Amino acid sequence: MSLACGTLEVDRPTKTPLADLCEAYVGYIRATKTKNSIKVDTWYLRSMFGPVCPVLEGTKERKRKETEKKRWAPNGTQIQVAYVEQITTALIAQMIDAEVQRDATAAKTANRYREILMRFLSWAVDQRGVRMPKGMNPAVKV
């Protein structure tokens, strides 16, 4: 089918579940980073995506989940997508803008969100074979 349309499967984006990729990325940073860097990067990923997988659940969420069995409620500023390939430059910019407006986040912190997301997506492309739409990391343009 793709040959008839003039595209190859290699040119088409993959469909990678965000939860699976976050789980793998946190495993990767646990093997390569210091304890404090792991904690910081995990906190930023949880802020951006919410607790989409067990490794991104914070202590509060784990305790609440164990006692009340309630699902974590997003604060409205997360990037809520099922697949990594659905992340766009516009979604990233909206999330960072919402964080800045809601919490008066400093420019340095806003840039840190972009930096960690750019690193996460670059790792996904390089190490996991994720093919983003148009072959570009959307965080680069933010």
Question: What confidence score (pLDDT) does residue 8 get?
Answer: 47
Residue 41, domain extent: 14-141
DSSP string, 107-125: HHHHHHHHHHHHHHHHHHH
Of 103, 50, 58, nearest to 79 by C-alpha is: 50
Q: What is the CATH number of the domain that holds 130?
A: 1.10.150
Give the number of other CB atoms < 10 A from CB of residue 72.
17
Which ranges in the chain belong to alpha helices (H)? Answer: 2-5, 18-32, 35-49, 59-68, 89-103, 107-128
Residue 73 lies in a domain: yes
Residue 133 lies in a domain: yes
3-class DSSP state of 83: strand
Of 29, 63, 64, nearest to 44 by C-alpha is: 29
Predicted confidence (pLDDT) at residue 113 exceeds the cutoff of 50: yes
* Dihedral, 8, 12, 14, 18 alpha carbons, nearest 10: 170
Rounded CA gap, 100 and 95, in Å?
9
pLDDT in tens, 20-67: 999 999 999 999 999 999 999 999 999 899 888 888 887 565 555 544
Residue 67 lies in a domain: yes
Between the two ends of the chain, the Cα-to-Cα distance in Å is 34
Residue 2 lies in a domain: no
Residue 4 lies in a domain: no
Question: What confidence score (pLDDT) does residue 12 get?
Answer: 75
Residue 137 lies in a domain: yes
* Tally of domains within the chain: 1
pTM of the model: 0.79
